[in-house]
Chains A and B, each alone.
Chain A
Amino acid sequence: MDKQKSVQELDDVVVRFSGDSGDGMQLTGTLFADASALFGNGVNTFPDYPSEIRAPQGTVGGVSGFQVHLGSQKVNTPGDFCDVLVAMNPAALKANAKWVKKGGMIIADSDQFNEKGYQRAGYKTLDAITELNLQDFKVIYAPITTLTKESLKDSGLDNKSIVRSKNMFSLGMVYYIFDRPLNFTEKYYEIKFKKKPEIVVANKKVLRDGFNYAANIQAIPNTYKVKAATSLPKGKYRSINGNTATAWGLIAAAEKANLPLFCGSYPITPATEILIELAKRKDLGVKTLQAEDEIAGICTSIGAAYAGNFAVTTTSGPGLSLKAEALGLVVMTELPMVIVDVQRGGPSTGLPTKTEQSDLNQALYGRNGEAPMVIIAASTPSNCFDYAFTAGKIAMEHMTPVLLLTDGFIANGSEPWRIPNMKDYPAINPPIVPEGTENFMPYARDEKRLARGWAFPGKKGIAHRVGGLEKDFIKGSVSHDPMNHQRMTDIRAAKVKRVEEFIPEQEVYGDKEGDLLVIGWGGTYGHLLTAVQEMRAAGKSVSLCQFNYINPLPKNTREVFKRYKKLVVCELNMGQFANYLRMNFQEFNYLQFNKVQGLPFTVVELVDKFNNILEGK
């Protein structure tokens, strides 16, 4: 290794891998993130990929990216801008140049920057640096494709497989730049390609050759060192993304309730991974049913809930629309169910692979009739586990559907997670009706939660009928009586409202009073927190109030809002939560910051906005 090069020590650094959708950038990014997490860094990731599986090669529309933020402390966002960009072709550079910090490093595969490559990416000239105005950046053109071919010429692999390994060459280069050990990734190859030893050998060689190449060339001005995080709580860690955490949280709830987990679901981006994770868990008795459509997804779950399983269904916005009528049936039959909506850009098919928070109105109001249900939103990849668990607990103990909102950003993003211990989680005690209960009344309720009993078919003496027609207040038989309908409507609403007695009070990050309260909900947490931390470090009186419980809202919400001069509601939609708060607490003036670009907030734009508000602009 060249000792002449300077080593720059940084608190945090952001790397973005980008290439064609077939270039393996998601895997490359994931390996880098995992290696950094194992090294002990705080890590946060952001996969950004197109909805086409293989868009036309070399085009800007087909560029797939994966951003990794690592720090010597816990990092809460994947970072606005990157310090290092890996661009596997001209299209990747064109699509991502705007995300590189001024003066940042760009590693580009020079073999792809030929006439054909420029043309496909829609350049006007054959000079990316001038055309994209990158004169102030450290652009390193490396013949990655050629070097990969050279590295593997004796590997015995066919040409196609050799060229496919070029992402590992670039990963090797990045490992050198960030002074990362290679052993974790080498171990990954050994496990992943257990049955193909020649691939293991080839990948190890190309990774190492990439590392050595970066060490030998003079073009790389300096390497970076990001120390292991020392502030993280002690314990055993793993890496987790939001969708896996959601799936696991649901299984955990089933285990605590001592009931089998049933998931009826239909594949839909970006929620499919939850179904995939659950389908793996036959070892824990999980039953998954890949239904013929979204409606069957929820309706099989309704049947399973009636029959006494902890039933869940998972979807994204368009799927939630299709499930709307069935959601009303769950409200009417007062059965427990968790519905997970991993939000994406809408309306209609919208932006399937991009994040947004625009399903809130649909979650709150998207059903016929008066049909309130409990709504919870997770706010980080790892706390999807806790909120999925809590959603299950509330659903089963309160006999109500619970809609859990996550979004494409936290669902796909990953972070290190201190592994919890199940003994630290509360018991779940659904109101299961014992066999042979005398004078069983299907809609009789407990006073504390207003939950009706859960009477499983197969148990003696409690045969009963339920359905979508209005129910008699006690007997549950069909009733068209006007006053009964009023009473039932009231009690269904009261049952949901009653949940506020069982959820924690709303907390605030920062001072309990001040100039500005930043209000957010769900997956914007990391960016809002980082922005508020920056503001506070600069001496500004700003606090953060991030909601996880949407319906009902925490009981102290009004008391929290009262103590600030200004309130700004930030969300990735056009103001759905702001309007919900206006409806609930009319006395406050809510400023708004909204964005619907299929992208998370950037910390920079948030800080700008908050400063403007404080300055009265």
Chain B
Amino acid sequence: MEEKYLQYTPQDFKSDQEVRWCPGCGDHAILNAVQKGLPEVSKVLKYNLERYVFVSGIGCSSRFPYYVDTFGFHGIHGRASAIATGVKVANPTLSVWQVTGDGDALAIGGNHFIHAVRRNIDINILLFNNQIYGLTKGQYSPTSPLGAITKTSPFGTVEHPFRPGELVIGAQGKFFARSLDVDVKLTTEVMVEAAKHDGTSVVEILQNCVIFNDNAYDFLTDREHREDRIITLRHGEKMVFGKNRDKGLILSGLSLKVVTIGQGGFTMDDILVHDAYNPNPGVHMMLANMEYPEYPVAMGVIRNVKDTTYDDNVRDQVLEVMKDAKIKCMDDLLNSGETWDV
């Protein structure tokens, strides 16, 4: 038998549909990263192409399934988590990917999103966060910063934004990672990790909307300062960052603190080692919530904890009950319980 899963190239995952995002949109880079990542996922997990299903809701990001040459379902606004959940429970052998945006997942679809995370259904959620509504042309989203001036907030928003990582961990999420649209290599890396994780994996991808919220992440993508403002976390490695790799994170009291190695008496030994597998969400929550300029913004896999999954539990319970069942077919059921003859 041919081992197809060993042979895929990004080309195999490109559909014949013309990609219609705006020139310069961050989505192009993410699509590129996913098409590069899928051959890798296939190799690692031995998945053939027909096992992939991409599910989306509504929004710019939700056009994604049309551009990937796998099974795909373009749903309705906010409901992708629910649709993806149904796909996975119906056929747990499928590799299910939900592509969604900050409006789709966190506003209209907030309820489905947190419940998918709570259930720990084995789906992978790629959450494109551009802090704006793009497809409806520039209204603020649940992740727009307080005071953001948009078409529906001409005097600045008066509401506090969600932080997706905080929401995921608060909903008992077991996997949360973050990447940046322009960092194709990192996006590919975390998506492979997400695929390997059993349970709901949420990958937040900071994505630039070139038309309605351009330069929102310039402070992170700017080559000059990038390494001083981003910390890329890897399990088992020291939390070190900076152009000169001389800055790190320590725990000071109940908070994280940035220190410079070799200054103030801090040495490499004082720097925290990233433990993504720790079930305790405390440090993960602090890492996910780090904001510039007080902290570097955390990238990579922040939390990756093993637990039972919803789809496995559904399957196991059915098998367990069926094993000793007296009722094996419809006729058995119809004739069960109290009956009498006329």
- Which positions in A face B, CB cutoff 8 Å? 34, 37-38, 40, 229, 232-239, 248, 251-252, 255, 260, 262, 264, 281-287, 289, 291-293, 295-296, 299-309, 311, 325-326, 328-329, 333, 418-422, 456-469, 477-478
Inter-chain contact B71/A463, CB cutoff 8 Å = yes
Picked from B330, B331, B342, the residue with its CB within 8 Å of the CB of A232 is: B342
Inter-chain contact A283/B70, CB cutoff 8 Å = no
Report the separation of the CA atoms of residues A460 and B71 in the bound assembly, to the nearest whole angstrom.
Answer: 10
Q: Which of B254-262, B265-273, B332-340 participates in binding chain A?
A: B332-340
Inter-chain contact A251/B322, CB cutoff 8 Å = no
Picked from A37, A238, A282, the residue with its CB within 8 Å of the CB of B321 is: A282
Contacts of A34 in B (CB 8 A): 338
Picked from B50, B322, B338, the residue with its CB within 8 Å of the CB of A239 is: B338
Inter-chain contact A458/B50, CB cutoff 8 Å = yes
Contacts of B338 in A (CB 8 A): 34, 38, 238-239
Closest Cβ of chain A to B110, distance in Å, is 10
| CB of B93 closer than 8 Å to a CB of A | yes
Closest Cβ of chain B to A418, distance in Å, is 8
Report the separation of the CA atoms of residues A462 and B326 in the bound assembly, to the nearest whole angstrom.
Answer: 39
| CB of B45 closer than 8 Å to a CB of A | no
Picked from B72, B91, B328, B334, the residue with its CB within 8 Å of the CB of A307 is: B91
| CB of B48 closer than 8 Å to a CB of A | yes
Inter-chain contact A289/B86, CB cutoff 8 Å = yes
Inter-chain contact B322/A292, CB cutoff 8 Å = no
Inter-chain contact B321/A303, CB cutoff 8 Å = no
Q: Which of B73-81, B157-165, B214-222, B274-282 participates in binding chain A?
A: B73-81
Inter-chain contact B73/A465, CB cutoff 8 Å = yes
Given contacts A299-B82, A299-B112, A465-B65, contact A458 B93 (CB under 8 A): yes
Inter-chain contact B325/A283, CB cutoff 8 Å = yes
| CB of B15 closer than 8 Å to a CB of A | yes
Inter-chain contact B73/A248, CB cutoff 8 Å = no
Given contacts A235-B341, A458-B50, A463-B70, contact A284 B86 (CB under 8 A): no
Given contacts A37-B340, A282-B318, A292-B111, contact A299 B87 (CB under 8 A): no
Picked from A264, A291, A302, A458, the residue with its CB within 8 Å of the CB of B91 is: A458
Q: Write out, one digit per residue, whether chain B residues 44-57 have a CB within 8 A of any chain A CB (1) or not (0).
A: 00001111010110
Contacts of B326 in A (CB 8 A): 283
Chain A CB count within 10 A is highest, among B69, B72, B334, for B334
Inter-chain contact A457/B79, CB cutoff 8 Å = no
Chain A CB count within 10 A is highest, among B66, B86, B320, for B86
Contacts of B321 in A (CB 8 A): 282-283
| CB of B286 closer than 8 Å to a CB of A | no
Given contacts A463-B50, A465-B74, contact A293 B111 (CB under 8 A): yes
Inter-chain contact B94/A287, CB cutoff 8 Å = no
Report the separation of the CA atoms of residues A266 and B222 in the bound assembly, to the nearest whole angstrom.
Answer: 48
Contacts of B327 in A (CB 8 A): 281, 283-284
Closest chain B residue to A419 by CB distance?
B334
Report the separation of the CA atoms of residues A234 and B342 in the bound assembly, to the nearest whole angstrom.
Answer: 5
Report the separation of the CA atoms of residues A292 and B118 in the bound assembly, to the nearest whole angstrom.
Answer: 11
| CB of B85 closer than 8 Å to a CB of A | yes
Closest Cβ of chain A to B312, distance in Å, is 13
Closest Cβ of chain B to A390, distance in Å, is 15
Chain B CB count within 10 A is highest, among A291, A311, A465, for A465
Picked from A296, A419, A421, the residue with its CB within 8 Å of the CB of B339 is: A419
Contacts of B22 in A (CB 8 A): none
Inter-chain contact B90/A465, CB cutoff 8 Å = no
Contacts of A418 in B (CB 8 A): 342
Report the separation of the CA atoms of residues A238 and B342 in the bound assembly, to the nearest whole angstrom.
Answer: 10
Contacts of B325 in A (CB 8 A): 283-284
Contacts of B115 in A (CB 8 A): 291-292, 296
Inter-chain contact A284/B339, CB cutoff 8 Å = no
Picked from A299, A465, A477, the residue with its CB within 8 Å of the CB of B83 is: A299
Given contacts A284-B330, A304-B89, A457-B87, contact A469 B74 (CB under 8 A): yes
Report the separation of the CA atoms of residues A465 and B70 in the bound assembly, to the nearest whole angstrom.
Answer: 8
Given contacts A235-B341, A281-B333, contact A301 B86 (CB under 8 A): yes
| CB of B17 closer than 8 Å to a CB of A | yes
Closest chain A residue to B55 by CB distance?
A303
Closest Cβ of chain A to B111, distance in Å, is 5
Picked from A236, A255, A304, the residue with its CB within 8 Å of the CB of B90 is: A304
Contacts of A468 in B (CB 8 A): 58, 74-76
Contacts of B55 in A (CB 8 A): 303
Inter-chain contact B331/A421, CB cutoff 8 Å = yes
Query: What are 12 residue pairs bridging A and B, where the CB atoms are less than 8 Å apart in the complex?
Result: A238-B335, A282-B317, A284-B329, A284-B330, A299-B75, A299-B112, A302-B83, A303-B82, A303-B83, A307-B91, A326-B79, A460-B50
Contacts of A260 in B (CB 8 A): 90
Contacts of A296 in B (CB 8 A): 79, 82, 85, 111-112, 115
Q: Beyond the given A284-B329, A287-B318, could you list 19 further A-B residue pairs with CB under 8 A, ordered by the A residue number?
A: A237-B341, A238-B338, A248-B330, A264-B86, A283-B328, A284-B333, A289-B85, A289-B314, A295-B79, A296-B82, A299-B79, A303-B82, A420-B334, A422-B334, A457-B91, A465-B72, A466-B73, A467-B65, A477-B66
Inter-chain contact B333/A248, CB cutoff 8 Å = yes
Report the separation of the CA atoms of residues A38 and B314 in the bound assembly, to the nearest whole angstrom.
Answer: 38
Closest chain A residue to B58 by CB distance?
A468
Closest Cβ of chain B to A436, distance in Å, is 10
Inter-chain contact A326/B342, CB cutoff 8 Å = no
Closest Cβ of chain A to B342, distance in Å, is 5
Contacts of A477 in B (CB 8 A): 17, 66
Report the separation of the CA atoms of residues A233 and B342 in the bound assembly, to the nearest whole angstrom.
Answer: 7
Report the separation of the CA atoms of residues A237 and B74 in the bound assembly, to the nearest whole angstrom.
Answer: 47
Contacts of B33 in A (CB 8 A): none
| CB of B84 closer than 8 Å to a CB of A | yes
Closest Cβ of chain A to B329, distance in Å, is 7
Inter-chain contact B86/A303, CB cutoff 8 Å = yes
Closest Cβ of chain B to A461, distance in Å, is 8
Chain B CB count within 10 A is highest, among A234, A252, A306, for A306
Report the separation of the CA atoms of residues A233 and B341 in the bound assembly, to the nearest whole angstrom.
Answer: 10
Inter-chain contact B69/A463, CB cutoff 8 Å = yes
Q: Write out, one digit per residue, whether chain B residues 168-195 have a CB within 8 A of any chain A CB (1) or not (0).
A: 0000000000000000000000000000
Closest chain B residue to A301 by CB distance?
B86
Report the separation of the CA atoms of residues A302 and B112 in the bound assembly, to the nearest whole angstrom.
Answer: 14
> Which 5 residue pairs spanning A and B have beta carbons closest together?
A303-B86, A467-B74, A283-B325, A299-B82, A300-B86
Closest Cβ of chain A to B167, distance in Å, is 15
Contacts of A463 in B (CB 8 A): 49-50, 69-72
Report the separation of the CA atoms of residues A281 and B325 in the bound assembly, to the nearest whole angstrom.
Answer: 10
Closest chain B residue to A230 by CB distance?
B342
Picked from A236, A264, A283, the residue with its CB within 8 Å of the CB of B322 is: A283
Given contacts A38-B338, A300-B82, contact A287 B49 (CB under 8 A): no
Inter-chain contact B330/A251, CB cutoff 8 Å = yes
Chain A CB count within 10 A is highest, among B48, B317, B322, B339, for B339
Report the separation of the CA atoms of residues A286 and B318 in the bound assembly, to the nearest whole angstrom.
Answer: 8
Picked from A289, A326, A421, A464, the residue with its CB within 8 Å of the CB of B72 is: A464
Tell me the chain B residues, 1-36 only, with Cβ under 8 Å from chain A: 15, 17
Contacts of B66 in A (CB 8 A): 465, 467, 477-478
Report the separation of the CA atoms of residues A395 and B322 in the bound assembly, to the nearest whole angstrom.
Answer: 27
